[in-house]
């Protein structure tokens, strides 16, 4: 998953998906280099979160689906005690 800001110079060299399967590329309208999932338009943000949840094998809580802020670990259904150390 690639997320670029429309006004980010790096978007000029955006990765082309080509024949990739289950890969996604998003552009945040008016966004800059700090663009992220949380800054995508609602429909694309929801799709990106759903994809990440599917990839991670977890279900998002209702709150995680609706927020435009950072998503807490608990919202992903991940037990903090069972996470592997970095």
What are the sequence ranges of the domains in the chain?
A: 2-82
Query: In this predicted model, what pLDDT tens digit does every residue of 22-35 receive, in sequence order?
Result: 999 999 999 999 99
Distance of alpha carbon 20 from alpha carbon 43, whole angstroms: 22
Tell me how crowded residue 49 is: count the other CB atoms within 10 A of its CB: 21
Closest by Cα among 72, 76, 33 to 52:
76
State the pLDDT at residue 77: 54
Q: At residue 12, does pLDDT exceed 70?
A: yes
pLDDT in tens, 37-81: 999 999 999 999 999 999 999 988 765 555 544 444 455 555 545
CA separation for the pair 34, 3 (Å, rounded): 10
Query: Contact, 64 vs 49, CB < 8 A?
Result: yes
> What's the rounded Cα separation, in Å, for the pair 55 and 3?
17
pTM of the model: 0.67
């Amino acid at each position: 998953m690639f997320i670029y800001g429309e006004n980010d110079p790096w978007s000029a060299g955006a990765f082309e998906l080509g024949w990739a399967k289950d890969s996604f590329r998003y552009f945040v309208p008016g966004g800059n280099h700090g663009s992220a999932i949380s800054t995508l338009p609602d429909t694309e943000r929801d799709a990106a979160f759903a994809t990440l949840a599917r990839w991670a094998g977890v279900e998002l809580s209702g709150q995680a689906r609706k927020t435009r802020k950072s998503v807490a670990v608990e919202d992903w259904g991940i037990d903090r005690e069972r996470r592997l150390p970095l």
